[in-house]
């Protein structure tokens, strides 16, 4: 089980909750829906063309940073680099509709 993130306000949040909370603006979310697959696709593309794969990573980060500029916050991975690995889970939960369910 991952360690909770200690925020400056003294709150405890899990990695997923912290990541989700940093992506509330619809434009930021939309840009991340493009950036996350783009960045992770470089792992596959590198087998065929390493130059294109190396270009995908900064392109993905540029889209994500633009989203955070619009939202007015810092990327979650600056708080904890493990958020890079939370991103695909967050994306899958948003796509398949399991990310916004609140307990009754």
* Prediction pTM value: 0.79
Q: Is the pLDDT of residue 104 over 60?
A: no
Evaluate if residue 9 carries a pLDDT over 70: no
Residue 77 to residues 62, 74, 87, 95, 103, Cα–Cα distance (Å): 14, 8, 9, 21, 27
Which among 12, 30, 15 has a CA at the least distance from the CA of 77? 15
Local confidence band at 99 (pLDDT 50, 70, 90 cut-offs): low
On the question of pLDDT at 84 being above 80, the answer is yes
CB-based contact 34:61 (threshold 8 Å): no
Cα torsion through 56, 96, 5, 76, rounded to 10 = 30
Which pLDDT belongs to residue 96?
A: 93
Number of Cβ within a 10 Å radius of residue 77: 17
Q: What is the mean pLDDT of residues 59-77?
A: 95
Mean pLDDT on 38-57: 95
**3-state SS class at 41:** helix
């Amino acid at each position: 089980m991952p360690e909770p993130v200690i925020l400056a306000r003294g709150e405890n949040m899990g990695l997923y909750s912290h990541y989700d909370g940093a992506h509330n603006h619809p434009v930021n979310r939309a840009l991340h829906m493009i950036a996350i697959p783009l960045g992770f696709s470089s792992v596959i593309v590198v087998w065929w063309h390493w130059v294109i794969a190396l270009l995908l990573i900064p392109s993905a980060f540029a889209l994500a940073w633009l989203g955070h500029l619009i939202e007015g916050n810092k990327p979650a991975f600056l708080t904890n680099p493990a958020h890079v690995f939370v991103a695909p889970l967050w994306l899958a939960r948003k796509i398949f509709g399991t990310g916004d369910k609140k307990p009754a």
